[in-house]
């Protein structure tokens, strides 16, 4: 019942009058003057132009904070109100479920009615699933195919690799997964992979890709990349099917167009090529998904793809203060090959972007924690900021830990967005595997995951036997197991338990087919399988939490009609919004922050190697660096009123201490828009958790003569002396330089972090020190002092 039949009816009924572009029009009972419609209120001229250019290709270049969603939703309202399209004739694609949800809500609000009838508003993936279920047989699948997540994908690949007799050690499955994802992102089926790339993965990349695809098909499964790929293949090979969709989906809107990859581009172009009513919204400066196959080229090339396209630029920013905008512009200006936009604002007030250095990551977290509390309370009589209005945006998710630790100890409420997700947790995935088996007993991957969880005495050997039996008979693992049991071919111990397991699955499957109450069924499954009992018996500290999660899972089921519906939801909706009450600071990655805004934003970890990430630069060179820079731009432009950038000179990495230089992006911040808060340490004095609150940053900031402070100069000098890309030691929190006298072997020394130690060797400016507590370390000489001067260390 996916709306296709109604659709035909609608198609016949919807005879929208053609109208001149840009003019207010009268249409089928719509309001007489659309330009006076409430959804047009408060649109600036550029936005209005974007809303009114309904027919033909439109490219909306929308800078950060320029009201793009407003324009987009108004455009949808306009399409509906003018009678150009019915709700189910508009295809509106976003990248995240959150964005789709928000758009739905806003359109509903604009029109004063629900838009439940907009079935084609969603992510590329969710819309693709809808299409693919309808035409699965065209690519050799059944319409109830399962969608594998990354984990399943990897396990399947390992099997394929093993079957090809390749040493997975030398040729990791991850590498192959990356290759295959890359090909799928470019809509390349195995036969189409360019021969130049066939040498990948020990010359067997394409061969294994083909084997993997065959395996997926036999499992009646797809991975994420397939969802799009299959649809593109169907469109390309079945013009009749494509034609249907072209007729049905009269208007196309695409959000975040700069993030589309080749497959998505083809997907869109195929759908749009007939009527060319496509409106793409994007910002080349916010293209941050190159690693996922996004092609900035798509947006740069739009006018060539759609000749005669109308290009609208949204440049008036409604979000940030001038200083914040200027700082962001200064950074992004270093990128080449931009379409170019100049953001401006009518706003004149506002604080400069704040910059502060710290000795190490812990101190950075401590400082930000205090600063959050200060802001919450309200600085100098200013009004306080709610925790909900503050965010900490990090480059990589592992950076979040330091903040979580700190916030937990000071009891500061926080929420992590996009961290280790609920549905990726071990116990949830196990439970889901049970549900999957209940829904489709032939789901071999699910079978493998839980046959021996909890332990049923079915180890590698027993499982191999089952595999053999299944493969030999060309049946699923469950059937294979059944055969073995009936033959009595399985050894004594596990046999009874396997029998119980197989019977259990049969029973649960029966219940699913009988459409039994699925919430109850889920509980029953977890009980009968012994899964709950397993965690109850587990005495590790995390067991109670896991049981709690299982309860939550069952509760989440209530919102769905059945298990199938739930499973699909989980496969596609990986963002879990836990809307707990109470104000909280948000912690998230820069990527996750795209599209969001906060009055106060903290951007920690601006160190070379971390941000920009060394890996990005190593693998992608200048291209990678530019993408990192766009990420910096995204970060800064999330801030409405206050943006605080910070870096730490030392950080633990894999338990090893490492020092780093402030990010090169810091040098790119235009100095007249930055307040340098004195790097701690440069003026000595106890700075840290125990420091009196009166001595916090605010007061210091007043004195800091911005870029003329000795600290800043030294930062610059150090920066200039060193080559780029080298591992560099800190140029920020420099300890008393005079303390760096010449050391000799055997000297006793002191280091703030490691304590006392003995010099074992000397190498240029580095010392090999055997620390009493921390063990052997290589240390830059500047960071240690003679042991008898330990008291002089200002930290």
Partner DNA sequence: CATTAGAATAACACC
Partner DNA sequence: TATTCTAATG
Q: Does 146 bind DNA (CB under 7 A)?
A: no
Closest CB 227 distance from DNA, rounded Å:
8
Give, rounded to a whole angstrom, the gap between the first and last alpha carbons of the chain.
68
Active-site option among 52, 226, 256, 284: 256
Helix ranges (DSSP H) in 603-709? 614-636, 664-667, 697-703
Active-site option among 104, 250, 319, 638: 638
Q: Does 659 bind DNA (CB under 7 A)?
A: no
Q: Which stretch binds DNA (CB under 7 A): 46-54, 212-220, 649-657, 670-678?
A: 649-657
Among 170, 380, 383, 398, binds DNA (CB under 7 A): 398
Give the DSSP per-residue string, 561-604: SSHHHHHHHHHH--------SS--EEEEEHHHHTT--EEEEEE-
Q: Does 414 bind DNA (CB under 7 A)?
A: no
Among 60, 75, 118, 124, binds DNA (CB under 7 A): 124
Task: Taking each helix axis as running N to C, give the angle between helix 262-272 and helix 124-135, from 0 to 180 degrees, rounded to the nearest 10.
Answer: 60
Which has the closest alpha carbon to 288: 533, 662, 68, 616?
616
C-alpha 313/C-alpha 60 separation (Å) is: 6
At residue 131's C-alpha, the angle toward residues 214 and 189, to 5°, is 35
C-alpha 635/C-alpha 641 separation (Å) is: 13
Element of type H or E holding 750: strand 748-751
Torsion of CA 124, 126, 129, 131, to 10 degrees: -70
Give the DSSP per-residue string, 142-154: -TT-EE--HHHHH
Closest CB 721 distance from DNA, rounded Å:
27
Closest CB 95 distance from DNA, rounded Å:
6
Burial class (CB in 10 A: 0-12, 13-18, 19+), 342: exposed
C-alpha 551/C-alpha 554 separation (Å) is: 5
Report the 10 Å Cβ neighbour count for 515: 10
Closest CB 212 distance from DNA, rounded Å:
16
Among 175, 396, 689, 740, binds DNA (CB under 7 A): 396
Which has the closest alpha carbon to 316: 600, 72, 46, 597?
46
Q: Which stretch binds DNA (CB under 7 A): 49-57, 89-97, 235-243, 373-381?
A: 89-97
Does residue 471 carry a catalytic annotation?
Answer: no
Q: Is 250 or 664 the residue whose CB approaches DNA more closely?
A: 664
Gyration radius of the chain's alpha carbons:
30
Q: Is 213 or 345 the residue whose CB approaches DNA more closely?
A: 213
Among 654, 703, 723, 742, binds DNA (CB under 7 A): 654
Closest CB 113 distance from DNA, rounded Å:
27
Q: Which stretch binds DNA (CB under 7 A): 24-32, 94-102, 524-532, 666-674?
A: 94-102
Secondary structure of 456-491 in HEC code, one letter for each residue: CCCCHHHHHHHHHHHHHHCCCHHHHHHHHHHHCCCC
Among 120, 145, 224, 712, binds DNA (CB under 7 A): 224
Q: Is 157 or 715 the residue whose CB approaches DNA more closely?
A: 157
C-alpha 371/C-alpha 384 separation (Å) is: 12
Which has the closest alpha carbon to 95: 125, 132, 75, 64?
125
C-alpha 781/C-alpha 741 separation (Å) is: 9
C-alpha 323/C-alpha 548 separation (Å) is: 46
Q: Does 458 bind DNA (CB under 7 A)?
A: yes
Q: Is 109 or 778 the residue whose CB approaches DNA more closely?
A: 778
Q: Which stretch binds DNA (CB under 7 A): 25-33, 327-335, 363-371, 457-465?
A: 457-465
Q: Does 142 bind DNA (CB under 7 A)?
A: no
Q: Does 744 bind DNA (CB under 7 A)?
A: no
Cβ-contact 477, 447 below 8 angstroms: yes
Closest CB 491 distance from DNA, rounded Å:
7
Cβ-contact 498, 456 below 8 angstroms: yes
Q: Is 321 or 613 the residue whose CB approaches DNA more closely?
A: 613
Q: Does 291 bind DNA (CB under 7 A)?
A: yes
Cβ-contact 142, 220 below 8 angstroms: yes
Does residue 69 carry a catalytic annotation?
Answer: yes
What sign does the dihedral 667-671-675-679 (CA atoms) show? positive
Q: Is 181 or 641 the residue whose CB approaches DNA more closely?
A: 181
Closest CB 473 distance from DNA, rounded Å:
20
Give the DSSP per-residue string, 67-124: -HHHHHHHHHHHHHHTTS--GGGEEEEESSHHHHHHHHHHHHHHHTS--TT-TTEEEH
Does residue 68 carry a catalytic annotation?
Answer: yes
In the region spanning residues 488 to 527, those forming contacts with DNA, defined by CB under 7 A, are: 491, 494
Q: Which stretch binds DNA (CB under 7 A): 40-48, 74-82, 608-616, 639-647?
A: 608-616
- What's the DSSP call for residue 261? B
Q: Does 455 bind DNA (CB under 7 A)?
A: yes
Q: Does 456 bind DNA (CB under 7 A)?
A: yes
Q: Does 539 bind DNA (CB under 7 A)?
A: no
Active-site option among 69, 374, 467, 658: 69
Q: Does 126 bind DNA (CB under 7 A)?
A: yes
The CA distances from residue 678 to 21, 130, 350, 358, in Å, are 57, 56, 20, 10
> What is the length of the chain?
795
Closest CB 536 distance from DNA, rounded Å:
15
Q: Which stretch binds DNA (CB under 7 A): 311-319, 394-402, 526-534, 703-711?
A: 394-402
Q: Does 460 bind DNA (CB under 7 A)?
A: yes
In the region spanning residues 571 to 590, those forming contacts with DNA, defined by CB under 7 A, are: 572, 574-575, 589
Which has the closest alpha carbon to 97: 76, 71, 132, 127?
127
Size of the site for DNA (CB under 7 A): 42
Q: Which stretch binds DNA (CB under 7 A): 460-468, 480-488, 519-527, 635-643?
A: 460-468
Among 613, 659, 678, 730, binds DNA (CB under 7 A): 613
Does residue 286 carry a catalytic annotation?
Answer: yes
Closest CB 399 distance from DNA, rounded Å:
8
Q: Does 418 bind DNA (CB under 7 A)?
A: yes
Closest CB 588 distance from DNA, rounded Å:
7
3-state secondary structure of 348: coil
Among 260, 452, 637, 646, binds DNA (CB under 7 A): 452
Q: Which stretch binds DNA (CB under 7 A): 26-34, 308-316, 334-342, 613-621?
A: 613-621
Q: Does 743 bind DNA (CB under 7 A)?
A: no
Closest CB 662 distance from DNA, rounded Å:
19
Q: Which stretch binds DNA (CB under 7 A): 130-138, 230-238, 567-575, 732-740?
A: 567-575
Does residue 256 carry a catalytic annotation?
Answer: yes
Among 8, 105, 619, 667, binds DNA (CB under 7 A): 619
Strand 585-589 relative to strand 251-254: parallel, antiparallel, unpaired?
unpaired
Q: Is 224 or 257 the residue whose CB approaches DNA more closely?
A: 224
Q: Is 418 or 786 the residue whose CB approaches DNA more closely?
A: 418
C-alpha 632/C-alpha 128 separation (Å) is: 32
Among 592, 600, 636, 682, binds DNA (CB under 7 A): 592
Q: Is 386 or 614 the residue whose CB approaches DNA more closely?
A: 614
Q: Does 166 bind DNA (CB under 7 A)?
A: no
Residues forming the site for DNA (CB under 7 A): 95-97, 123-126, 150, 169, 224, 291-292, 395-398, 418, 452, 455-462, 491, 494, 572, 574-575, 589, 591-592, 613, 615-616, 619, 652-655
Q: Which residues are catalytic?
A: 68-69, 255-256, 286, 638
């Amino acid at each position: 019942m996916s709306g296709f039949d109604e659709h035909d009816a609608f198609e016949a009924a919807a005879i929208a009058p053609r109208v001149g572009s840009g003019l207010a029009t009268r249409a089928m009972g719509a309001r007489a003057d659309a330009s006076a419609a409430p959804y047009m209120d408060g649109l600036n001229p550029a936005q209005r132009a974007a809303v009114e250019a309904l027919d033909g290709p439109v490219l909306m270049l929308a800078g950060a904070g320029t009201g793009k969603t407003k324009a987009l939703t108004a455009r949808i309202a306009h399409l509906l109100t003018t009678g150009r399209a019915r709700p189910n004739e508009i295809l509106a694609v976003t990248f995240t479920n959150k964005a789709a949800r928000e758009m739905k809500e806003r359109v509903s609000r604009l029109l004063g009615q629900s838009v439940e009838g907009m079935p084609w508003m969603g992510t590329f993936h969710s819309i693709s699933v809808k299409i693919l279920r309808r035409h699965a047989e065209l690519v050799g699948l059944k319409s109830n195919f399962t969608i594998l997540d990354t984990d399943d994908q990897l396990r399947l690949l390992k099997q394929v690799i093993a079957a090809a007799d390749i040493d997975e050690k030398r040729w990791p499955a991850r590498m192959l997964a990356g290759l295959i994802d890359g090909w799928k992102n470019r809509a390349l089926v195995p036969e189409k992979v360019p021969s130049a790339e066939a040498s990948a993965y020990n010359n067997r990349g394409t061969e294994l890709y083909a084997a993997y695809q065959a395996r997926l098909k036999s499992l009646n499964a797809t991975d994420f990349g397939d969802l799009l790929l299959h649809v593109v293949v169907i469109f390309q090979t079945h013009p009749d099917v494509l034609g249907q969709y072209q007729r049905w989906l009269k208007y196309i809107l695409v959000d975040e167009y700069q993030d589309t990859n080749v497959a998505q581009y083809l997907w869109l172009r195929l759908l749009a090529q007939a009527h060319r009513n496509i409106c793409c919204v994007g910002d080349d400066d916010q293209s941050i998904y190159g690693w996922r196959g996004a092609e900035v080229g798509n947006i740069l090339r739009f006018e060539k793809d759609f000749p005669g396209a109308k290009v609208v630029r949204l440049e008036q920013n409604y979000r940030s203060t001038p200083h914040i905008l200027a700082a962001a512009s200064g950074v992004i200006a270093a990128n080449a090959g931009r379409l170019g936009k100049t953001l401006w604002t009518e706003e004149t007030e506002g604080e400069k972007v704040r910059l502060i250095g710290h000795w190490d990551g812990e101190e950075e977290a401590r400082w930000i924690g205090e600063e959050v509390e200060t802001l919450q309370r309200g600085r100098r009589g200013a009004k306080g900021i709610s925790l909900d209005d503050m965010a900490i945006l990090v480059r990589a998710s592992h950076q979040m830990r330091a903040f979580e630790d700190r916030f937990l100890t000071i009891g500061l409420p926080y929420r992590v967005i996009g961290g280790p997700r609920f549905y990726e947790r071990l116990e949830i995935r196990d439970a889901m595997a049970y549900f999957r088996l209940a829904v489709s007993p032939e789901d071999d991957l699910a079978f493998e995951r839980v046959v021996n969880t909890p332990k049923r005495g079915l180890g590698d050997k027993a499982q191999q036997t089952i595999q053999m039996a299944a493969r030999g008979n060309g049946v699923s693992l469950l059937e294979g197991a059944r055969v073995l049991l009936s033959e009595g071919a399985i050894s004594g111990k596990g046999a009874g338990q396997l029998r119980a397991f197989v019977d259990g699955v049969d029973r649960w499957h029966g219940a699913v087919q009988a459409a039994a109450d699925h919430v109850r069924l889920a509980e029953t499954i977890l009980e009968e399988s012994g899964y709950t009992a397993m965690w109850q018996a587990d005495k590790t500290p995390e067991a109670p939490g896991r049981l709690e999660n299982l309860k939550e899972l069952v509760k989440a089921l209530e919102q769905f009609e059945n298990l199938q519906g739930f499973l699909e939801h989980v496969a596609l909706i990986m963002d879990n919004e836990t809307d707990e009450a109470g104000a909280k600071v948000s912690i998230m990655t820069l990527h996750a922050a795209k599209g969001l805004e906060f009055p106060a934003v903290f951007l920690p970890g601006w160190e070379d190697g971390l941000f920009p990430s060394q890996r990005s630069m190593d693998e992608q060179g200048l291209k990678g660096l530019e993408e990192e820079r766009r990420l910096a731009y995204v970060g800064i432009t999330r801030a409405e009123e206050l943006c605080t950038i910070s870096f730490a000179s030392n950080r633990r990495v894999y338990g090893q201490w490492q020092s780093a230089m402030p990010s090169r992006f810091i040098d790119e911040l235009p100095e007249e828009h930055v307040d340098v808060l004195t790097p701690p340490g440069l003026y000595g004095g106890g700075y840290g958790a125990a420091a009196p609150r009166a001595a916090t940053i605010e007061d210091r900031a007043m004195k800091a003569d911005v870029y003329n402070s000795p600290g800043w100069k030294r930062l610059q000098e150090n920066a200039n002396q060193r080559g780029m890309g080298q591992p560099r030691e800190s140029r920020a929190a420099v300890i008393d330089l005079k303390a760096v006298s010449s050391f000799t072997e055997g000297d006793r020394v002191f280091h703030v972090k490691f304590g006392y130690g003995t010099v074992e060797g000397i190498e240029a400016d580095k010392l090999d020190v055997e620390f009493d507590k921390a063990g052997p370390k290589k240390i830059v000489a500047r960071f240690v002092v003679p042991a008898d001067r330990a008291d002089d260390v200002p930290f």
